Chains A and B, each alone.
Chain A
Amino acid sequence: MILRRLWEHDLAWSFRRSPVTIVATALTLIWVGAALLAPWVSPQDPFDMASLNLSDAFTPPAWDEKGIGRYPLGTDNQGRDILSTIMHGARISLGVGLAAVLFALVLGVSLGLLAGYLGGRVEAIIMRIADVQLSFPAILIALLIDGVARVALPGDRHDELAIPVLVLAIGFAGWVQYARTVRGSTMVEKSKEYVQAARVIGRRPLAIMLSHVLPNVMGPVLVIATIHIATAIITEATLSFLGVGVPATRPSLGTLIRIGNEFLYSGEWWITLFPGIALVVLVLSVNLLGDWLRDALNPKLR
């Protein structure tokens, strides 16, 4: 019964009608599955240094005449299996992306709610900060935060703290969109009768914000969040490509592309190409999913 209701729901209907979205969803699910199950299904554990064999380094993909079946997509310069590394790398990329989006979402939505509901000086301060931050590209802000954190943290703990720092950096760089959207919707909702009614019966502002306004402004936020995941993954990859992201001993997709980039001239194309394709496919499918969600939830386009 529930399944049937779901199947006939507007969203499901629009989903069924869009083959692109179905493919994108399938690909995203495969990625999430690969990332979640990487420790159990990947042929090799690329983070276990004892399992690496330097003499297997630079093995081309299996279909090449010099390839070995054990390494379907070849190996990198340390003898890491590219397929396993991509799976583990996607784990880091997706994990960092999701965590950063969650952080940005919580921060942005709270500030947006406060600004929109309270108005006045609070709104002015929050929104001016947002305006100033909007004038910088997100990658620059992430680089700045990452750079400051690197100097501030003790040298020998960089590697352990690299991922949390990355999450904070990317999250901080992305909160503005949420805050602006939520503030706009909150201002609209604030003047509606149900909010006024809640106020009249004496509910406190915080309670009104959380239990009455918040659920009604979350629609657009979810759309932004989905698209933001793709951006966050790209930002993480860019930072790692520039060498300030995750350490080389625990490579993410961006790190892999950077490592492979050095070997393009000498003909070892697979080290950079496969992680590159993986990144494109991952980001594209998440992005397509976000696009579809935006269209499907937009009443004007229905």
Chain B
Amino acid sequence: MRLLAAILALMVAPAYAVTLKWAAQNDILTMDPHSQNHATTHAIMQYAYEGLTRYSKDYQIEPCLATSWDKVSETQYRFHLRKNVKFHDGSPFTADDVVFSFGRIKQPQGTNQIYVAGIKEVKKVDDTTVDLMLEGPHPLLLKNIVDFRIMSKSWSEKNRSQNIQDYSKQEETYASRNTNGTGPYLIKGWEPDKRIVMAVNKEWWGKLDGNITDVIYTPIKSDATRVSALLSGEVDLVTDLPTQDVERLRKEPALKILDGHEVRTIFIGLDQHNDELKYANVKGKNPFKDLRVRKALNMAIDREAIRKVTMRGLSIPAGIMIAPGVHGHSKDIDIVPKFDPAAAKKLLAEAGYPDGFEFTLDCPNNRYVNDEKICQALVSMWAKAGVRVKLNAMQFATYIPKLLNFDTSAYMLGWGVPTFDGLYTLQSLVHTKTKGADGSFNQGRISDKKLDEIIDQLKIETDTNKRDALLKQGLEITRDQAYYVPLHHQMRPWAMKKGVTIVYSLDDRPQARFATVK
């Protein structure tokens, strides 16, 4: 009898199983949700773990593990937690888990502290209520905590994973290899560089918007192989499409393309701190400290040609440091510098470089869409204005430590905005460098008192109109002072089989709960 039941179960189960096979370029770094602030890792971890708030399909904040919240005062928010929510291991979700997760994500060996920046303390009021005590007014709180994921206190303690793994020392813990969240999908297994298998969480408190019961994520490094996998029908959905293949995939009758732009801006950063550039032939002074030189570099770039040729139309030329879709962006301030090599040459001559000068541009070659090719194009464009540039392209893994050690004179970087507010970019890239979140990626060490004041005010300004005006001013000063050389905002279309329906997400993270496969 039992055997019969088992056979029946086997026969019945596949009828309801709908699998989404998704392939992208990179693998996750870890399964510890607090360890690494890394796009792919967050994209997968949000399947298993949840935060207090989340984004809806149209990028509005909606309740998640918290059902509602009240502002007690400017520095105190009370969150009412969802009742009867269970972690994947069956243990109940309570206020203790929120307090525990807050203490955990703040540990210094992790890189996700930015998501709880501005929160002084999380206080348990009762089992289903917590108070977030803030350091000051925090207009972005609800957006900021979306990627602050809640772990189970009892499970972490039982498995000796109260501490975040020390990723830089290649430490592995139980939590870096296993998951236990409250999210819509359970991670069944992770074979590094091969696949991640997920199955729907039948006990989930929410309701799926689609019909996906199983997800198989496959990281495929090679562009051509990833596209072939889609063409041969091996996978249903491909993100990280190589730009040159998009047009061809559009013509495939069995496929469809979902267009969208990621909220990420690609730019060149310049060392504006050292008195002499480390990698340049100018001795005794730093040409990048001169506004005319920075302007000339901006004007010598034909962003439209990069869009058309290198990006095959899949970019939006940029004049400011945030992309459309990020609060603070508007067409009237995102003015692309006019391409004018002759004027650039003249500006350089005025600045004292009639014959140009020479510097080295550091560039990643496996991180952003066409990163190295864009850098090559820049080298040739700047050469026409008389600036000779040596290109030093390398893998992202060796690139990042180099940047963090300020071992660069000019570098390419892309900045995405998970909070969808321009403050995130200004605070990380433009604010004078500090040990904390201010200037956390200001590797050119720009320092502008006026901008610092604006940014500090932005963090606490709660009047929407005043805040928007400040944000606009901050972005405009950054643009007019040419502190950075913005190139473009990336567009990241997804390709999928005709039978797949999914909602495009601006952070380039497909969510299976919004997907249907026919």
Contact = CB atoms under 8 A, between A and B. Distances in A.
B82 interface: no
Nearest to A264: B224
Contacts of B398: 155
A262 B389 CA distance: 25
A30 B163 CA distance: 68
Given A54-B380, A266-B244, A155 B310 contact: no
Interface of A: 48-50, 52-55, 57-58, 77-79, 155-156, 158-159, 248-249, 261-268
B383 A50 contact: yes
A268 B242 CA distance: 14
A103 B309 CA distance: 42
Contacts of B223: 262
* The 10 nearest A-B residue pairs measured at CB: A50-B383, A49-B383, A266-B244, A52-B380, A49-B380, A54-B305, A57-B309, A265-B245, A55-B305, A49-B379
A261 B245 CA distance: 12
B384 A54 contact: no
A262 B376 CA distance: 16
25 contacts: A48-B383, A49-B380, A49-B383, A49-B388, A49-B389, A50-B384, A52-B380, A54-B306, A54-B309, A54-B380, A55-B302, A55-B305, A55-B308, A57-B309, A78-B377, A78-B380, A79-B380, A155-B392, A156-B279, A248-B372, A248-B393, A249-B376, A264-B224, A265-B227, A266-B248
Interface residues of B, number: 34
Nearest to B224: A265
Contacts of B377: 54, 78
Given A50-B380, A265-B248, A156 B392 contact: yes
Given A159-B390, A248-B393, A266-B244, A55 B309 contact: yes
Given A54-B381, A58-B309, A249-B379, A156 B247 contact: no
B360 interface: yes
A262 B242 contact: yes
B244 A78 contact: no
A267 B373 contact: no
B349 interface: no
B394 interface: yes
Contact of A248 (B244, B376, B402): B376
A52 B379 CA distance: 10
B391 interface: yes
Nearest to B305: A54
B302 A155 contact: no
Given A78-B373, A261-B224, A266 B309 contact: no
Nearest to B393: A248
A90 to B, nearest CB: 21
Interface string B399-433: 00010000000000000000000000000000000
A149 to B, nearest CB: 15
Contacts of A156: 279, 360, 390, 392
Contacts of B394: 155
Contacts of B279: 156
B240 to A, nearest CB: 14
Given A265-B227, A265-B242, 19 more contacts: A48-B383, A49-B388, A49-B389, A50-B384, A54-B305, A54-B310, A54-B380, A54-B381, A55-B305, A58-B309, A155-B394, A155-B398, A156-B390, A159-B390, A262-B244, A266-B244, A266-B245, A266-B248, A267-B248
Contacts of B305: 54-55
Interface in B341-396: 360, 372-373, 376-377, 379-381, 383-384, 388-394
A248 B279 CA distance: 20
B412 to A, nearest CB: 15
Contacts of B389: 49
A260 B293 CA distance: 35
A249 to B, nearest CB: 6
Nearest to A80: B380
Contacts of B380: 49-50, 52-54, 78-79
A263 B384 contact: no
B208 to A, nearest CB: 35
A50 B402 CA distance: 28
Contacts of A262: 223-224, 242, 244
A229 B360 CA distance: 35
A77 B309 CA distance: 8
A269 to B, nearest CB: 12
B232 to A, nearest CB: 13
Contacts of A50: 380, 383-384
A57 to B, nearest CB: 5
A50 B223 CA distance: 30
B393 A54 contact: no
A184 to B, nearest CB: 45
A77 B376 CA distance: 10
A79 B381 CA distance: 12
Nearest to A266: B244
B247 A266 contact: yes
A87 B355 CA distance: 30
B248 to A, nearest CB: 6
A266 B248 CA distance: 6
Nearest to B228: A265
Contacts of B402: 155
Contacts of B308: 55
Contacts of B384: 50
A267 B379 CA distance: 26
Contacts of A265: 224, 227, 242, 244-245, 248
Nearest to B370: A77
A263 B388 CA distance: 28
Interface string B289-304: 0000000000000100
B354 to A, nearest CB: 16
B392 A78 contact: no
Contacts of A267: 248
A264 B227 CA distance: 12
A262 B310 CA distance: 13
A77 to B, nearest CB: 6
B426 to A, nearest CB: 31
A49 B358 CA distance: 13
Contacts of A53: 380
Nearest to B376: A78
